[in-house]
Amino acid sequence: MNAAGVSTAAARLTGIRQARIAQRDQARSEVDRLTQRKKDIDEAVALIQGVAAATQDQLRVRLEYITQTAMDVVFPGTYVFKVEFTPRRGRTEVDMWLDKDGTRMDPLDSNGGGVVDVISLALRICCLTLSTNARVLLLDEPFKFIRGKARQRLGDMLKAISRRLGIQVIMVADVSDTGIIPDREFRVGMKWRKSFIEARDPEASDA
The mean pLDDT value of the chain amounts to: 81
Rounded to two decimals, the pTM is: 0.65
C-beta neighbour count of 155 within 10 angstroms: 21
Distance between CA atoms of residues 61 and 67, nearest Å = 10
- Beta strands at 136-140 and 168-172: parallel, antiparallel or unpaired: parallel
Residue 204, pLDDT above cutoff 70 = no
The set of long-range contacts for 47-56, using a CB threshold of 8 Å and a minimum separation of 24, is 52/92, 56/85, 56/92
CB 138 within 8 A of CB 128: no
Residue 205, pLDDT above cutoff 60 = no
C-beta neighbour count of 166 within 10 angstroms: 10
Report the CATH fold assignment for 131-207. Rossmann fold (3.40.50)
Residue 182's pLDDT band (boundaries 50, 70, 90)? confident
pLDDT per residue over 123-140, tens digit each?
Answer: 888 888 887 776 788 888
Task: List, in order, residues 6 or more apart from 112 with CB less than 8 Å away.
Answer: 145
Q: Please tell me the predicted confidence (pLDDT) of residue 110.
A: 59
Dihedral pair phi/psi, residue 147, rounded to 5°? -125, 160
Q: Please tell me the predicted confidence (pLDDT) of residue 207.
A: 43
The set of long-range contacts for 65-71, using a CB threshold of 8 Å and a minimum separation of 24, is 66/122, 66/125, 66/126, 66/129, 67/119, 67/122, 67/123, 67/126, 69/122, 70/118, 70/119, 70/121, 70/122, 70/125, 70/157, 71/115, 71/118, 71/119, 71/122
Q: Please tell me the predicted confidence (pLDDT) of residue 170.
A: 84
Query: What would the mean pLDDT of 178-203 be, rounded to a whole number?
Result: 76
